[in-house]
Amino acid sequence: MLFPTIAVVFGLILLVWSADRFVEGSASVAGHFGMPPLLIGMLVVGFGTSAPEMVVSALSASQGNPGIALGNAYGSNITNIALIIGLTALISPITVHSQVLKKELPLLTLVSALAVWQVWDGQISRFDAATLLLCFLLLVVWAIWQGMRKKSDSLGQQMEVELDQRSMPMNRSVFWLIIGLLLLVASSRMLVWGAVEIAQGFGVSDLVIGLTIVAVGTSLPELASSIIATRKGEHDIALGNVLGSNLFNTLAVVGIAGMIQPLATPAEVLSRDMLTMFLLTISLFAICYGFKGRAGRVNRIEGIILLAAYLGYSTYLVASVINP
């Protein structure tokens, strides 16, 4: 059990580090080829922060471990809302200003409802996966169109600043693009192997491992970027980072995994995990929308409530393992 544990810990560390190198390299390469900074930020950087979830779930599906693939995607969504937004709001209350977020929140709610509907029959078929990927493609096109119309949005400005700071020579950019991608795949393989071995060793389902250890580990880039953005006063970016990641996980991550191999969904995925994800999404929708003319805001009390919800959910998962 020692080597699988080392593989999980080292795999998570290498996964986060390689994802950051991959994002820097690919963003810089795209810049050298004349891609507009806003599109680089929305596509390359946006995809990059969710690259750990995507690669881990794809590898898990290809290796016949659908529990890790689903647990990683849906568990990351739960972690993003309850743990990351809760912890970020506890450090500094999050104020919602951008009109873009007011479009993304109901969109995320609709996408979450779509996800619940697709696992209702106990599996995600290739047709279901294709539907998710088509929705994701339409969402990307819509986001690009919206972004090009509103270049003055603070999210676009912040992305352009970050991309300027990440600029590097072409040969170095290509080097980190290739190395980052290779290490991303290698660390994901290491993480999946260790997670499966631990699950089998303790008699725990790979779904629970995916919902806990793997989900938290692959969400570390979102946690770091949200905290940094909040400390800089960029509250919309902190919240938009989480919303974008959840949309990506629900549509692209699950869609890619389902296209590789149809995914069987245990009954508890719908009754426990999907229900938790959907309720947290609805709660975030209610919290972030202001009432009686006041701006939406995630204050410290609401952050504590979200953290308590995550603690309660995690405790329930552990209890279900101890007393199956």
Q: What is the pLDDT of residues 180-209, one digit of tens each?
A: 878 878 888 888 888 888 887 888 888 888
Q: What is the pLDDT of residues 23-47, one digit of tens each?
A: 677 767 767 766 655 555 555 655 6
**CATH architecture entry for 2-322:** Up-down Bundle (1.20)
At position 127, the amino acid (one-letter code) is F
192-214 residues labelled b (16+ CB within 10 A) or e (exposed)? bbbbbbbbeeeebbbbbbbbbbb
**What does the pLDDT average to over 289-313?**
83
**Where do the domains of the chain lie?**
2-322
Identify the band that residue 134 occupies on the pLDDT scale cut at 50, 70 and 90: very high
Question: Which comes out higher in pLDDT, residue 174 or 279?
Answer: 279
Residue in this structure with the two tokens 């794809």, named with its chain if needed: 58
pLDDT of residue 159: 47
> What H or E segment, with its residue span, contains residue 320?
helix 300-322
Residue 148 has pLDDT above 70, yes or no: no
What are the φ/ψ torsions at residue 124 (nearest 5 degrees)?
-115, 105
pLDDT of residue 174: 83
In this structure, what token pair is assigned to residue 56? Answer: 């881990």
**What does the pLDDT average to over 125-134?**
94
What average pLDDT does the structure give for the chain?
Answer: 81
Q: pLDDT > 70: what percent of the chain? A: 81
Least confident of 25-34, 97-106, 117-126, 202-211: 97-106
Question: The whole model's pTM is what?
Answer: 0.81
**Pairwise CA distance, residues 86 & 310, whole Å:** 9
Instruction: Enumerate helices (H) and strands (E) in the chain, giving the number of each.
Output: 18, 4
**What does the pLDDT average to over 165-185?**
78
Question: Which comes out higher in pLDDT, residue 65 or 164?
Answer: 65
What DSSP assignment string belongs to 179-224?
A: HHHHHHHHHHHHHHHHHHHHHHHHT--HHHHIIIIIHHHHTHHHHH
pLDDT of residue 163: 47
Which residues are paired to 96 by β-bridges? 296
Residue 237 has pLDDT above 80, yes or no: no
Contact 81, 210 (CB under 8 A): no
Residue 152 has pLDDT above 50, yes or no: no
**Pairwise CA distance, residues 9 & 261, whole Å:** 27
256 in helix, strand or coil? helix
Identify the band that residue 74 occupies on the pLDDT scale cut at 50, 70 and 90: very high
**What does the pLDDT average to over 59-82?**
91
